Amino acid sequence: MLLDGSVYLGKNVSVVCSDSTCTVYKLQDNSGEGIMTGYSVFPGVSLFYHDFHIEKCKSYFQPGTEIFCIDHCREGRLEWEMDDGSCMYMEAGDLQMNSRAQHSRMFYFPLRHYHGITVSICVKEAEAVLPGILEGFSVDVCSLRDKFCSGKQPFIMRAGASIEHIFSELYTVPESIRNMFFKIKVLELLLFLNSLNVSPDLGERPYFCKTHVEKVKAIMELITGEPQRHYTLEELSKRFDFPVTSMKNCFKGVYGTSIYAYMKDYRMNAAAVLLRRTKDSVTSIAMQMGYENASKFSAAFKSVIGTTPADYRKSIV
């Protein structure tokens, strides 16, 4: 089941191309775009690869029938606001089970990119087919959906070794064995989820109120807008009326790392751009990134980029 006429995609999603093996969709927004490449695995079961380079987008998705979706995040972060105003996050390595019942909303990508996989199951169609696919295969898709989607919130869990094994191989499958490999992996995934004991706290994730998230995003805009300035946590806390501990926790919840680590990574990547595009000296670039000591700047650059500024510049000449 690829996204057929029963599914409303919305005005910002279009079909790029389609053939007998897959369909490619494009989501377009002023802040970027996302590519979704879908493959039919079984009747009623599809697998989608997501490659998004975007800051935010509006989803108009309406399934038109009962579906059960299993999402795996490989890279990036996904944010969405719940009905109570709190914000929820999915990060690299997370697994989400979702009925898409409340999927028509705004989604945000704090790191401006997202890469992952979705296994989409049309419950009624799959129920009629899957029991006869493999002798002994006894997964009830409807029961599986109820198991993970009974609450109002999406069920999100940190993927363990077994799940990571299933999905990691899906990102590198050779085209020559793709169709059969998809079938095996989807069955393996469903069997694993069927055997999983769902404890009350398994799907619990931290939530952050919208006002705190907005403050954290304002902090990010401020510090990235002035990479030459090194703000202290106390300065930021006072400026945004945000207790230090709450500020640190919320920033990490939104961006997946500490304020210090985020800015170090941002500065070094900004420095790499300057090394590629300008003839500014390493000392000048160090000062533009807030480092008065070129040696400390070089050490920081190497810890993030993997090589010294001088060697990095030589490698691109």
Number of structural domains the chain divides into? 2
The neighbouring-strand residues paired with 23 are 18, 38
Question: What is the pTM assigned to this prediction?
Answer: 0.85
Q: Is residue 250 part of a domain?
A: yes
Looking at residues 141-159, what average pLDDT do you find? 83
Are residues 145 and 257 part of one domain?
no
Domain that residue 251 falls in: 208-316
Q: What is the largest CA-CA distance in the chain?
A: 69
Are residues 175 and 42 part of one domain?
yes
Looking at residues 187-191, what average pLDDT do you find? 92
Among residues 195, 216, 238, the one where a domain terminates is: 195
Q: Which of 35, 48, 277, 2 is nearest to 269 (CA)?
A: 277
Q: Is residue 108 part of a domain?
A: yes
What is the band of 203 on the pLDDT scale with cuts at 50, 70, 90? Answer: low
Looking at residues 109-134, what average pLDDT do you find? 91
Among residues 195, 220, 236, the one where a domain terminates is: 195
Are residues 226 and 146 part of one domain?
no
Looking at residues 12-32, what average pLDDT do you find? 93
What per-residue string of b and e applies to 100-138 under the rule 16 or more CB within 10 Å gives b? beebeeebbbbbebbbbbbbbbbbebbbeebeeeeeeee
Are residues 157 and 50 part of one domain?
yes
pLDDT score of 214 = 95
Are residues 128 and 71 part of one domain?
yes
Are residues 257 and 149 part of one domain?
no
Q: Is residue 203 part of a domain?
A: no
Find the CATH number of the domain harbouring 21: 2.60.120.10
Find the CATH number of the domain harbouring 294: 1.10.10.60
Rounded CA-CA distance 10/212 in Å is 30
pLDDT score of 151 = 65
Are residues 272 and 150 part of one domain?
no
What is the band of 154 on the pLDDT scale with cuts at 50, 70, 90? Answer: confident
Asked whether 298 and 311 are in contact (CB, 8 A), the reply is no
Q: Is residue 200 part of a domain?
A: no
Q: Is residue 302 part of a domain?
A: yes
Among residues 132, 163, 195, the one where a domain terminates is: 195
Determine what percent of the chain is predicted with pLDDT higher than 70: 95
What is the band of 149 on the pLDDT scale with cuts at 50, 70, 90? Answer: confident
pLDDT score of 108 = 94
Are residues 221 and 101 part of one domain?
no
Positive or negative torsion for Cα 85, 207, 49, 53: positive
Looking at residues 229-233, what average pLDDT do you find? 95
Rounded CA-CA distance 17/275 in Å is 38
The 10s digit of each residue's pLDDT in 28-43 is 999 999 999 999 999 9
At 173 the three-state DSSP class reads coil
pLDDT score of 152 = 65
pLDDT score of 79 = 93
Asked whether 112 and 92 are in contact (CB, 8 A), the reply is no
Are residues 214 and 185 part of one domain?
no
Looking at residues 246-252, what average pLDDT do you find? 95
Rounded CA-CA distance 23/317 in Å is 39
Are residues 182 and 212 part of one domain?
no
Q: Is residue 104 part of a domain?
A: yes
Q: Is residue 162 part of a domain?
A: yes
Output the average pLDDT for the chain: 90
Answer yes or no: is pLDDT of 5 > 60.
Answer: no
Determine what percent of the chain is predicted with pLDDT higher than 90: 70
pLDDT score of 316 = 81
Residue 159 carries which side chain, given as an amino acid letter? A
Residues written for the chain: 317
Answer yes or no: is pLDDT of 234 > 60.
Answer: yes
The 10s digit of each residue's pLDDT in 60-100 is 888 888 999 999 999 999 998 887 778 889 999 999 998 98
Are residues 264 and 293 part of one domain?
yes
The 10s digit of each residue's pLDDT in 263-272 is 999 999 999 9
Are residues 240 and 116 part of one domain?
no
Q: Is residue 42 part of a domain?
A: yes
